[in-house]
Amino acid sequence: MDIVPDEKGKLWIATHHGGLDYFDPVTEKFQHYKHDSSNPGSIGMDSLHTVFIENDKYLWVGAEVGLTRLDRNTGKFTTYRHKQDDSSSISSGSVFKLTTDKNGAVWIATISGLEKFDAKTGKFIHYLPGYSVKAIFKSANGDLWAGATQGLFLYDETTGQFKSYKPDNLPSGIEEILSVIGDKENNIWITTSNAVIRLNTETKIAKVYSAEYGILSSSWNWLNNYLSSDGRIFIGGTKGYYMINPSEMIDNTTPPILNFSKIKISNKEIFPDENGILTQPIWDTKQIILSHEQNAFTIDFNAIDFNSNGPIKYLYQLADFEKDWHDISAEHSASYYGVPPGKYTLNVKAINGEGSMVQKSMEIIITPPWWQTWWAYTVYAILFILLGWGIYKYQKNYILSRERKRSQERELAQAKEIEKAYTELKATQAQLIQSEKMASLGELTAGIAHEIQNPLNFVNNFSEVNLELIEELKSQKSKVKSEENDAIEKELLDDIAQNLEKINHHGKRADAIVKGMLLHSRSSTGQKEPTDINSLSDEYLRLAYHGLRAKDKSFNATMKTDYDTSIGKIQVVSQDIGRVILNLITNAFYAINLQQPKGAVARGVVIKEPTVWITTKKSENNIQIIVKDNGPGIPKHVLDKIFQPFFTTKPAGQGTGLGLSLSYDIIKAHGGQLDVETQEGEMTQFIITLPIK
């Protein structure tokens, strides 16, 4: 049952089974509001718990099941019931208490949660769902408190949520809350199933009034607590009211005296000792230093209180090791084991029956084992750095040696490649030498043919002539002998003999040419043999001349020879030296032909008579073969390169570039030297110098 007076002093009474009554104390008459199923505007139910006047327009009635609202102007009720399929309907079950917050919104405490009524939409917003909320209370400063079986909650406007609230001296909180009301001294009074608790919302200190204060538990008519206009608080029980006058509740504010009393390490009590853990009695000790092996310890403490009649409660916490406080009620020792090395503070609180509290702290340092000390870490760091450095060095060396090996392999491969290339080059060179030889032979073929044809012609002609002469001689023989005839006969015979000599001469000449050609085309035997340098020079001069003529009909040149007949025979590899001479002469002819454009002769323009000179000379120790031409000379920038293999000034395909290089090698092999003298626009001469012995 709940009774609430209105503005006019009339009383609204919510009855447990008889509906809502409105009582006028002056006329002493009741007005009854009962449920009438035929009238939708009648009160929604008759089993009621609480009544609450929101304002002059609305009055709310909380029922055993559901909620109903009276429009005080029309006298009509609107009933709110839980609907299974509508999440914005009021939560199911009993409604215990209603209040408005500082913004005027209606809050409804129900058995299955706290509801906020949205007046605009007529919908309910759910808080603390599933909690059995029996009390909702707005304190003088506007704070909204909710008391539930599960604890005390304070509305946090910033998050829009209810936060669990625990007084400082009751870290485990207040449970089984039945009712919350406020007094005029910033206290809220909380009725629980077995105590009345006064909570100072400023100090956050709670004072519990229970059996020792004459509070008999489990006998509440818990819906009927209220603050009277003179400041007294009435708490309803089954056998009457507890009346509390908060202004008369004088607290014992002298806190207990708290001290540490004993320390046990590994269950062994430690006594003060000059060199021990304790140098003074523990109650005078501010700091205890333990080794990492002494991290299982128990510290006892004790509080003495002369004023309070209630029991002393203890709380402790090892700060930096744990967050929560241990609520140990009347026990007074704190045990820890396995605490890692570190710096901690043991905080102990003692609270007497009056709620006065004292706190004492002790610093407990657990030193790390040597392998966890700073210098150990320094050593680790150094070792780590050394290891890292070692690995780096090793890696570096490994990579270096690997790279070295690779580059060695590469070099080796390159060397092999070079060797291979060198071998190939050698083979190519040999091939080139051979083809150079063949090329020069090819050049000579026409010349050689001509050279052979001339002597052959003579052989043929002279033998034919001889036949004629012999015929003539025969006819002379048949004539009568006379002196004239004798003279003719003698002349004929002389001619025949001369012709035979010519035949023989030209036959030998052809033979020599063929031999020379064979000699030239054959691979060099490398055998030195006595060679007539003059005839060798002459032979190749003619060969070169005719070879060029065969190729170019317009070619012509004057050849001047000056042979030193005292040279005689010199030991040389004749085909090699012959090749050098041939090469030099061919070059000379090529050079003089350069400044003699084709057709120049035909036009009668001859600037200078193109001439090649072959000169042989003998001195004391050596002989010289000089091949000179009056061609354009060799430019300076070319002069350095002429002996280099493959260097040629001839148009592509016409010279191998090996001639002078080979010539140089041949002369070197003979122990001689090949020199060149040139004057641009004037002449070039190559001088072969060969030792006599």
Partner 1 sequence: MKVLGVDDEKDIQILFEQRFRKEIRENQINFAFAFSGEEALSYLNQHEHEAVLILSDINMPGMSGLELLEHIKQKYHKPPPVVMMITAYGDQENYDTAIRLGADDFLTKPVDFTLLKEKLKTTL
Residue numbers at the binding site for partner 1 (CB under 8 A)? 446, 450, 453-454, 456-458, 460-462, 464-465, 468-469, 495, 498-499, 502, 505-506, 545-546, 549-550, 553, 556-559, 601-602, 604
| Contact status, residue 258 vs residue 350, Cβ threshold 8 Å | yes
Least separation in angstroms between CB 546 and partner 1: 7
Output 96 or 458, the one with its CB closest to partner 1: 458
Please state the closest distance from residue 450 (CB atom) to partner 1, in A.
Answer: 5
Residues 615 and 391: their CA atoms lie apart, in Å, by 80
> Least distance (Å) from partner 1 to the CB of residue 457?
4
Q: Which is nearer to partner 1, 287 or 498 (CB)?
A: 498
The structure tokens 């559901």 sit at: 66
- Give the Cα separation of 416 and 422 in Å (integer): 9
Tell me which amino acid residue 17 is: H
Radius of gyration of the chain (CA): 70
Determine the Cα–Cα distance for residues 448 and 269; give it in Å rounded to an integer: 132
Q: How far is the CB of 495 from partner 1 (least distance, A)?
A: 6
- In the complex, minimum distance from the CB of residue 550 to partner 1, in angstroms, rounded to a whole number: 7
Task: Give 506 or 520: the residue with its C-beta nearer to partner 1.
Answer: 506
Task: State in angstroms the smallest separation of the CB of 428 from partner 1.
Answer: 36
Q: How far is the CB of 619 from partner 1 (least distance, A)?
A: 29
C-alpha span between 299 and 261 (Å, rounded): 7
**3-state SS string over 141-183?**
CCCEEEEECCEEEEEECCCCEEEECCCCCCCCCCCCEEEEEEC
Cβ closer to partner 1: 50 or 593? 593
618: its two tokens:
């003998």
Q: Between 546 and 670, whose beta carbon lies closer to partner 1? A: 546
**Closest CB to partner 1 among 528 and 549?**
549
CA-based nearest residue to 490, from 500, 502, 477: 477
User: Residue 360: which H helix or E strand, with range?
Assistant: strand 357-366
Of 188 and 557, which has the nearer Cβ to partner 1? 557
- CA-angle at 541, arms to 592 and 686, nearest 5°: 60
Dist. CA 383–CA 386, nearest whole Å: 5
Comparing CB distances to partner 1, the nearer of 202 and 471 is: 471
H or E segment and range at residue 70: strand 67-71
| Residue placing its CB nearer to partner 1 in the complex, 268 or 603 | 603
Name the minimum Å distance from CB 484 to partner 1.
Answer: 12
Q: Where are the beta strands (DSSP E) in 367-431?
A: none
Burial class (CB in 10 A: 0-12, 13-18, 19+), 489: middle
Give min distance, CB of 565 to partner 1, in A.
19
Cβ pair 194, 205 in contact under 8 A: no
